[in-house]
Structure 1
Amino acid sequence: MENQDQVCKNGCKAACSENLAAVEDALYVIAGKWKLKIIIVLQEMGNVRFNELQRLIPGISARVLSNELKDLELNGFVKRVVHAEQMPVVVEYISTDYSHTLKPVIMSLSQWGKTHKRKIKEEML
């Protein structure tokens, strides 16, 4: 019986460790103040130019937005499209199909956030 308990504990520890590592990997890619906001705006708005994107995300600086877009592009969440045939050259950013795999996660976070806000407000009354 003791050996069976030990195996279960070790199995659970391995599963827990694996889950922690997976969550850490996910958060490394999308964590921070701006990344999810950028992804959400691009998913909702479609093709968005840099200045418009900056206007749609209050408080983000051009430098930070540029760096976050590069990170998101590197990780396959954003595609940078250059329309060189137009004058002046137009650069747009779009969310990739891969970024849409985050949609259920974003919706769950959104619902949880609304529920949490309600809970906190109720506790304050």
Structure 2
Amino acid sequence: MATKARRGPYFCGIDAAMDVVSGKWKSLILWELNDHGVRRFAELRRGLPGVSEKMLTQQLREMEEDGLVHREVYREVPPRVEYSLTEHGTSLNQALASLGDWGVERIRRIGAEKVTVSAS
């Protein structure tokens, strides 16, 4: 199934940026790839508790279409597919860093629980 390319029109830069990272999982996929580098599908799924296989596949396809993620397919038996950030994805992750800092402060301020994921 082909995804619909998002091409505006946009009201402002925030509108264009939010179009690319909309939804719960895309920003978390960006952080996972930033923190761990190249990841296979199963590794990404383990690092994102609660994401379904279908949703992760959909989000990765959209992120690849938007130029945020590179998908490398190795022709071996069994087939191996690895995902990594592109320069565009890395720059978006850097732009989201301040938002992440704001979120950490919010967690602290409201006394919310912060979920930790064990390293795989």
Class of the TM-score when normalised by the shorter of the 2 chains:
0.7 to 0.9
* Residues 30 and 93 in structure 2, CA contact (< 8 A), matched pair in contact too: no
**Match in the other structure for 1:70:** 61
CA distance in 2: counterparts of 1:34 and 1:56, whole angstroms:
11
Larger radius of gyration: 1
Where do 4+ consecutive residues of structure 1 move more than 6 Å? none
Q: 2:19 aligns with which of 2, 24, 28?
A: 28
In structure 1, stretches of 5+ residues that fail to align are: 1-18
**Match in the other structure for 2:86:** 96
The share of aligned pairs that are identical, in percent, is 35
- Give the TM-score, by structure 1 length: 0.75
In structure 2, stretches of 5+ residues that fail to align are: 1-9, 112-120
**Match in the other structure for 2:7:** none
**Aligned-pair Cα RMSD in Å:** 1.6
CA distance in 1: counterparts of 2:60 and 2:93, whole angstroms:
18
Q: Which has the higher helix share?
A: 1
* Residues 74 and 80 in structure 2, CA contact (< 8 A), matched pair in contact too: yes
Count the aligned residue pairs: 102
* Higher RCO (CA < 8 A, seq sep 6+): 2
Q: Report whether the alignment pairs 1:82 with 2:82.
A: no
CA distance in 1: counterparts of 2:18 and 2:39, whole angstroms:
25
